[in-house]
Amino acid sequence: MNTFEQYESEVRGYCRNFPAIFSSAKGAWMTDADGRRYLDFFCGAGVLNYGHNPDRIKQALLGYLMRDGITHTLDMYSEAKERFIDQFNEVILKPRGLHYKFQFPGPTGTNAVEAALKLARKVTGREQVVGFTNAFHGMTLGALAVTGNGFKRAGAGVPLSHTASLPFDGFMGPESDTLDYFEMMLNDDGSGLDLPAAVIIETVQAEGGVNVASVAWLQRLREITARHGIVLIVDDIQVGCGRTGKFFSFEEAGIVPDIVTLSKSLSGYGLPLALVLIKPELDQWAPGEHNGTFRGHCPAFVTATAALSLWKDDQLERAVFAKQAIIEKRLAHIATIAGAEATVRGRGMIQGIEFADPSLAGKVSAACFERGLIVETAGIDDQVLKLLPSLTIEDSELKLGLDIIEDSVRALVKAEPRELRSAA
Amino acid sequence: MNTFEQYESEVRGYCRNFPAIFSSAKGAWMTDADGRRYLDFFCGAGVLNYGHNPDRIKQALLGYLMRDGITHTLDMYSEAKERFIDQFNEVILKPRGLHYKFQFPGPTGTNAVEAALKLARKVTGREQVVGFTNAFHGMTLGALAVTGNGFKRAGAGVPLSHTASLPFDGFMGPESDTLDYFEMMLNDDGSGLDLPAAVIIETVQAEGGVNVASVAWLQRLREITARHGIVLIVDDIQVGCGRTGKFFSFEEAGIVPDIVTLSKSLSGYGLPLALVLIKPELDQWAPGEHNGTFRGHCPAFVTATAALSLWKDDQLERAVFAKQAIIEKRLAHIATIAGAEATVRGRGMIQGIEFADPSLAGKVSAACFERGLIVETAGIDDQVLKLLPSLTIEDSELKLGLDIIEDSVRALVKAEPRELRSAA
Amino acid sequence: MNTFEQYESEVRGYCRNFPAIFSSAKGAWMTDADGRRYLDFFCGAGVLNYGHNPDRIKQALLGYLMRDGITHTLDMYSEAKERFIDQFNEVILKPRGLHYKFQFPGPTGTNAVEAALKLARKVTGREQVVGFTNAFHGMTLGALAVTGNGFKRAGAGVPLSHTASLPFDGFMGPESDTLDYFEMMLNDDGSGLDLPAAVIIETVQAEGGVNVASVAWLQRLREITARHGIVLIVDDIQVGCGRTGKFFSFEEAGIVPDIVTLSKSLSGYGLPLALVLIKPELDQWAPGEHNGTFRGHCPAFVTATAALSLWKDDQLERAVFAKQAIIEKRLAHIATIAGAEATVRGRGMIQGIEFADPSLAGKVSAACFERGLIVETAGIDDQVLKLLPSLTIEDSELKLGLDIIEDSVRALVKAEPRELRSAA
Amino acid sequence: MNTFEQYESEVRGYCRNFPAIFSSAKGAWMTDADGRRYLDFFCGAGVLNYGHNPDRIKQALLGYLMRDGITHTLDMYSEAKERFIDQFNEVILKPRGLHYKFQFPGPTGTNAVEAALKLARKVTGREQVVGFTNAFHGMTLGALAVTGNGFKRAGAGVPLSHTASLPFDGFMGPESDTLDYFEMMLNDDGSGLDLPAAVIIETVQAEGGVNVASVAWLQRLREITARHGIVLIVDDIQVGCGRTGKFFSFEEAGIVPDIVTLSKSLSGYGLPLALVLIKPELDQWAPGEHNGTFRGHCPAFVTATAALSLWKDDQLERAVFAKQAIIEKRLAHIATIAGAEATVRGRGMIQGIEFADPSLAGKVSAACFERGLIVETAGIDDQVLKLLPSLTIEDSELKLGLDIIEDSVRALVKAEPRELRSAA
């Protein structure tokens, strides 16, 4: 670890919880430099929905590189981009009756969010954007201003402006519909909430602690934003690309956002790629008004195109729902071991378990790592154990990982039974 | 082009000037879907300093992919990252007596700039950052606030705050040392310029029109910032990695910045990668205070490591200076054809020619494209023809490209002689 | 009106509703240039709690002017200021067990608010300030940012930053305690609400529509802010100086704010004067850090000192409560005339009646003006008839004014009965 | 002093330099509680251009108060306001061929500035405003953002945004025309200076150290702003109302600003009053868009109207120029005593002397106070002794004051000769 501890900035984070030096990976498994294998329930924070280095996509990538397919084109045209757009239209948008234009910003999620916010502000002529409690949209100043995490916000070094934070579904408890509050603020011109250009939302807040917005709440949010002429941006960077079962996470609610941001699993192989989908009537960009060097990262177009072939039928979707059932059942059981107050929540193959004692999630994660399973925590106090296995994981691997979690919880409960069952 | 015109956002830019659909590329050449070949004097805006798909780097990449080297690790440790850090230390930093810590932000230039600005603000506890006229640092809100271009600034949709723009070297004409102004503003506590956390500068403004800061000016800037406790950030994203001859563009001035940002040609193969180099005493990040999904993009570490082997001796550096001489000589000649007012400027292998008639640069670029050469324009009015050939281009290719430029200028001067020789 | 219509800016407002040219005034009566008399239930928006030109105060003022007492001293010492401070301590602070330091900002409410916000930000080192829905704190940029009115906010011409607007007591309906929301935002570090420097509140929102914060709600707000180290600022500019019965409006709740702003009726004679009361431990100003020309407006100190003699016993307080009973009883009756949905609310001698049809308040105000009574509307839609008679009004005058209101409502109901009883 | 030291906030400033408790005043003289008399060369920072309590104005005020003229009307019409507008038109605007509409904001300078900035932003739809180095426009957030003083800016507690500070005339030394810089920033769309809504300027910076903008510079500023559609605001709060000889300070340059702010000496008697003069085509306010309680402070209209009678002929103007000559001659002499590096500057009856040793100005001020003369310092380091006697001061009084200054300088030079003649 010498190289890293001596030379890499103190900002490094995940490596502190999973202190191995990784060398190779395949499917649901990662291997470190000492040859030790780890089952992966983390998937690079949602980047590897199809597992590590899936062969079909790998072959497409190798073929492209070997024939000296062009690698980098900025936003000039390329065959690789053309095929991706055509395929995305054919496989994803048309079957769902969706019509969007494609903007390729810099190849990271935060850049997609910045582009979406700019466009919404331009189209509406307004400056204010509404985000939600415990949202996570990125680290650049525009995206950070709609991110809830106080520690990360403070890192800005400047006040974060032109945004307001409203309560996400469930923030005020199960009885309260938090959109009542938003609607009253909108309806009262004395509320001090300047009419927003946009609302940006994750249908399932992943970093925020696996908080799930209900179908009814999302539908009401779509209705309110439409009525007030507010652009609705769904940030599907972490829970799009099939994480919740359907390709887009908002499909279950039957809503159509005005703008959608995608990244993470979009390339299907861990290569950086981002996409902003824009309703045609909102595509009011002037040429070059937003740019970025790596907009034309062709190897990622190639892998993304290959990944889309997984969506030509509903096999993957059905597999996700089947595995969701396995996970939910087992987590419910684990919750009973951890104590009555532990709660399970999630959609599709993003599932979390929140313990009464917030520190337990971290202890379980550490115990799992010792047992060869990588699973991270989420939420403002890292109080939620977040399961994010690849969508293509084998059932046996899934069960193995769940066994490890159960074992870990059991061992911890045995060691310190009282502490775990009732929070401080 | 149907797919692009119908489905890609109006924001697309370069493709409008170079309307071909590119398919493959090798060395200094790009090939479109119809098999037409183009000589590349653009290099993806500085991403391809070593040319397209250089074999040595390609082999390293293919080997890594074929053995299922891990692709994506967030900021967990990987062998690929370890090798890159070790190699960068060995080949670049140590021989130059430099000591920096490595931060890998999201893999784009703008993300590196955002990280650098955040850190400078945190370390100093100040909010104001100084940028320069005609600077270009990126499109996300923090980086855009230190970018000069009015059109791109307006795209923010919100006012850009916590920054001030000061005149770059030469902005007030050759007689005026623009740092006089900066220094007087700093020395007078009534100046209204809040003491800045940082100054961010490109030693050669590439997008801004190939504006070159002199050695003396850079040295004075380093001295002023040091005296006032201001963090000096050199944004070497476009003109680092050997573009000006030395690996870092600031080496010629003998200065040591507090923070350096790198991206574009860092990976050596067009793969997204970015790096923030931080003086150890400034590495005051808390763990996870700035993050991003694609910080651990291992294929790019692999190609970047392979690219560094080009820097083990001074061959490349000497080659750059030799080609610089060829380019400068020829551009001086072309300037005489274009008219007395045309001026040539640049450092190393970034060179520009500014015409008396601002529109001529675009016309020359278009005429070159017709003749099979890709060369872009720069500057706020696109008034500068900017040459950015790969550092590894063959002399014969270089001459071919310069011939095409000369031919194009000659043809345009012949067609509309008066217009070109005296500006409107 | 020629002079005004031709030369005074379009920004003029109240004169459009009360189009008379006023000449003189005494007690509860104003007289226009044509000799017409108007009973005043408006009191210059709360400036004239002791009526127009009260003789006792007038004599003190004339005496001071005639002996050439110094008029203007900036913040140099003057006998007039000394006497005011001593008297305010003696008559107001000491009997209430309060300990505050005195800051005299520029002589307007908005300047007092700006000073208070600056100080709270300095003392805490934080930037965010929380205001409430339908709050009104002033028109300069700092105060406007905590004002709810969307029309006035838009007048800023720049986005209003570093503030958040939270729901005032009752904003979400009678069942909901809106401080639940504030407390959850504070307790969750992922809420996106940066920990505020201060909360600023009017205990009764006058401009906002006579919205009354309950005693329990104010007590809970004091408890929450104390627990989180947030400065509590009570803006008592419009409802302090006895408007609610006690000298300070927060006395009824038994809370002690950290900072109190006063202006309007403070001078007791309509002369501009403002005061910021600061808990001694928060008085961390550096000399001259906030200044203003008319901080030392001695005639206003003289009248303010004279006015304080009214507070040496509880006569005025008791008179206010007695008149409050008269007003409330009559308004309840008028509400029954106006229709079942009309509601009455207020504290002390600020009382309002909100009609089912929002436009009725304006019609009643106009009808009253025709009948010789000046009474204004408030609330975001001017939906509330706001009664603000002087505290020293005679009972007979009070009844006369209430008769006029009742007559006006009766006449309007008769003319358009259906419209008034049920809102659109 | 007990009351003040114990109870008045630490923010108090001038009283620390002039520690007397003032009781009465007349003409050029102030008297403290012990009966000691002080000659006034400070005039309340420019409020008392006509001296203390001038009889003619006093009689008008007393008459108005005694007949119970209405004191406070918000922005309702009053006879007092009507007479003021008519008189100001008749005596000031018409003879100068000027056409402005009248806005009465809150009665302080900073409120006038805030109103002017809002209106300029509204009319142009832009957000950026340009101020100048060492400018002083007020303490509320909008005005503070165009104020240069770093200490006062830091008092904001939030970053000051939407403004840029440019070099005032002479800031870069006598050879440099600082408007070259402004014009180059405006002409280059890549300059990073967003096109401003307005430029705000004091023709003579009083607080900033008696910095005088030349006629040619002001004319060029007017020309540049007109050409670029930028609103030119002249803040004449401290040096208008005859301080430089003409009623407006910009008359000498023959320019017509788009907006003019007045306050301080406008009421002529030390009563708070402020005025924004607006070119009719810019009067695009909506009714009530900017308001404030003390807009209709009638006693101040009365005294202001009385003061205007002094401007019916050119007597006052000629007297100012005559006294200017006396002051300049004597200051030039004093400068030779203080040492070769002392410089004298000013216009009309605002004159300053800057010493080589910055601390000398404060020492001279203190020595003068001991000798019974009140004269303040100005400039960012309080390095300038600023003379601001009333315009109506007797020649003998003027000479007495100048004698005291000369004596004080002489005594100090004798006591510490070396220190004073050469700066540290």
If pLDDT is split at 50, 70 and 90, which confidence band does A423 have?
very low
Rounded CA-CA distance B373/B399 in Å is 12
Query: Structure tokens of B409?
Result: 């200028």
Whether D136 is covered by a domain: the verdict is: yes
End-to-end CA distance of chain B: 36
CB C198 within 8 A of CB C232: yes
C178 touches A205 (CB < 8 A)? no
- What burial class does residue B207 get, using C-beta atoms within 10 Å of its C-beta: 0-12 exposed, 13-18 middle, 19+ buried? buried
Residues 248-267 of A with CB under 8 A from B: 263-264
Compare all CA atoms of chain C with the CA of A168 and give the residue at the minimum distance.
Answer: C191
Residue C423 has pLDDT above 50, yes or no: no
Which pLDDT belongs to residue D341? Answer: 81
Of the candidate ranges B7-16, B337-346, C105-114, the one whose mean pLDDT is the lowest? B337-346
D301 and D323 co-located in one domain: no
| Predicted pLDDT at A415 | 82
Contact (CB<8Å) D45/C290: no
The predicted structure's pLDDT at residue D417 = 62
Same domain, C159 and C264: yes
B158 and C CB contact within 8 Å: yes
Q: Which of B149, B159, B163 sits opposite D190 (nearest CB)?
A: B149
Q: For residue B342, is it within any domain?
A: yes
Contact B293 A264 (CB under 8 A): yes
Helix axes D298-308, D79-88, angle to 10 degrees: 30
Residue D422 pLDDT > 80, yes or no? Answer: no
Q: What is the pLDDT of residue B415?
A: 82
- Do B199 and B264 belong together in one domain? yes
The whole-angstrom distance between D335's CA and the closest CA on chain C is 29
Q: How confident is the model at residue C415 (pLDDT cuts 50, 70, 90)?
A: confident
CATH number at residue D380: 3.90.1150.10
Query: Are A158 and D159 an interchain contact pair (Cβ–Cβ within 8 Å)?
Result: yes
Does B424 reside within a domain? no
Measure the CA–CA gap between A231 and A228, rounded to whole angstroms: 9
- Strands (DSSP E) contained in C252-340 are 259-262, 275-278
CB contact under 8 A, C134 and A195: no
Chain D residues touching residue B163 (CB < 8 angstroms)? 192
In this structure, are residues A206 and A350 in contact, taking their beta carbons and an 8 Å threshold?
Answer: yes
Contact A379, A399 (CB under 8 A): no
Q: Which chain B residue is nearest to residue D209, measuring alpha carbons?
A: B190
For the segment C8-17, the average pLDDT, to the nearest whole number, is: 96
Answer whether A148 sits within 8 Å of C184, measured CB to CB: no
In sequence order, the β-bridge partners of residue D30 are: D25, D38
Given B263, B290, B311, the domain boundary residue is B311
- The pLDDT of residue C340 is 64
- Interface check for B11 against chain C (CB to CB < 8 A): the answer is no
Q: Minimal Cα–Cα distance from C381 to chain A, Å?
A: 8
- What pLDDT does A1 receive? 64
Contact B162/D165, CB-based, under 8 Å?
Answer: no
Q: Please name the chains neighbouring A, where neighbouring means 3+ C-beta pairs under 8 angstroms.
A: B, C, D
Residues of B in contact with A104 (CB under 8 A): 8
User: What is the structure's pLDDT at D315?
Assistant: 97
Residues of C in contact with D288 (CB under 8 A): 11, 13, 151-152
Q: Kindly state whether residue B419 falls inside one of the protein's structural domains.
A: no
**Domain ends where: D311, D341, D357?**
D311
- Asked if the interface predicted TM-score (ipTM) of this complex is over 0.90, the answer is yes
Read off φ and ψ for residue C246, nearest 5 degrees.
-75, 165
CA D388 to chain centre: 10
The average pLDDT across D80-105 equals: 98
Distances (CA, A) of C284 to A51, C103, C281: 59, 12, 7
Mean pLDDT score of chain B: 96
The string of pLDDT tens digits covering residues B215-262 is: 999 999 999 999 999 999 999 999 999 999 999 999 999 999 999 999
User: Subunits with at least 3 CB pairs below 8 A relative to chain D?
Assistant: A, B, C
Q: What is the 3-class SS of C174-202, one letter each residue?
A: CCCCHHHHHHHHHHCCCCCCCCCCEEEEC
Nearest to B76 among A10, A18, A141 (CB): A18
Q: Which amino acid is at C280?
A: P
Asked whether D39 and D374 are in contact (CB, 8 A), the reply is yes
Q: Is the residue at A419 inside a domain?
A: no
Which of A4, A6, A12, A104 has the highest number of chain B CBs within 10 A, making it the mutation to test binding with B? A12
CB atoms A68 and B276 under 8 Å: no
Nearest CA to CA, how far is C111 from chain B (Å)? 22
pLDDT tens-digit series, residues B318-364: 999 999 999 999 999 999 998 768 999 999 999 999 998 999 999 99
C246 and C168 housed in the same domain: yes
Segment among B240-249, B415-424, D58-67 with least mean pLDDT: B415-424
Q: Are residues C41 and C95 in the same domain?
A: no
pLDDT tens for A110-139 read 999 999 999 999 999 999 999 999 999 999
What was the pLDDT predicted at D89? Answer: 98
Residues D289 and D332 in one domain: no
Q: What is the pLDDT of residues B17-26, one digit of tens each?
A: 999 999 999 9
pLDDT at C419: 52
Is D102 part of any domain? yes
Q: Give me the pLDDT at residue A295, please.
A: 94
Per-residue pLDDT reduced to its tens digit, B262-316: 999 999 999 999 999 999 999 999 999 999 999 989 999 999 999 999 999 999 9
Q: Are D200 and D298 found together in one domain?
A: yes
Specify which residues B72 forms β-bridges with: B297
Q: Could you tell me if C181 and C250 lie in one domain?
A: yes
Instruction: Check residue B424 and give its pLDDT.
Output: 40
Which residue type, as a one-letter code, is found at position B334? I
Using the Cβ of C149 and the Cβ atoms of chain A, whether some distance falls under 8 Å is answered with yes
CATH number at A171 reads: 3.40.640.10
A41 found inside a domain: yes
pLDDT at residue A235 is higher than 70: yes
d(CA D280, CA B125): 46
User: Sign of the C-alpha dihedral, residues A84, A85, A87, A91?
Assistant: positive
Q: What is the pLDDT of residue A340?
A: 64
Give D165→chain B minimum CA distance, Å.
6
Measure in Å the smallest separation between the Cα of A365 and chain C Cα atoms.
21
Instruction: Give strand ranges (E) for C204-318.
Output: 204-205, 211-212, 231-235, 259-262, 275-278
Contact A85 B139 (CB under 8 A): no
Q: How many domains does chain D have?
A: 2
Q: Does A25 lie at the interface with B, CB-CB under 8 angstroms?
A: yes
In a domain, A235, yes or no: yes
Contacts for D136 with CB less than 8 Å, ≥ 6 apart: D147, D148, D149, D202, D205, D206, D207, D208, D238
Host domain of residue A27:
3-54+314-413
* C-alpha span between D242 and B44 (Å, rounded): 64
Return the residue in A160, A188, A380, A383 with the most chain C beta carbons within 10 A, the one to mutate for interface testing. Answer: A188
Interface test with D, best of C43, C73, C77, C261 (most D CBs within 10 A): C77
To the nearest 10°, the Cα dihedral for B259, B264, B267, B270?
170
In this complex, is the C-beta atom of B5 within 8 Å of any C-beta atom belonging to chain D? no
Average pLDDT of chain C, as a whole number: 96
Give the integer Cα–Cα distance in Å for B90 and B317: 17
* Residue B123 and residue B187 in one domain: yes
Size of interface B-C (CB pairs under 8 A): 3
CA dihedral over A386, A171, A274, B382, signed as positive or negative: negative
Express each pLDDT in A186-234 by its tens digit: 999 999 999 999 999 999 999 999 999 999 999 999 999 999 999 999 9
Q: Which residues does A1 contact at the CB level (< 8 Å), separation at least 6?
A: A19, A21, B77
Instruction: Mark whether C124 and C16 lie in a shared domain.
Output: no
| C158 near B CB under 8 A | yes
> Do D77 and D162 belong to one domain?
yes
Residue at a domain's end among B311, B341, B375: B311
Quote the pLDDT of residue D1. Answer: 63
**C44 with D72: Cβ contact below 8 A:** yes
Predicted confidence at residue D423, as pLDDT, reads: 44
Among chain A residues, CA nearest to B138? A292
Q: Which residues of A touch D158 (CB under 8 A)?
A: 159
Residue D173 sits in the same domain as residue D225:
yes
H or E element: which one contains D261?
A: strand D259-262
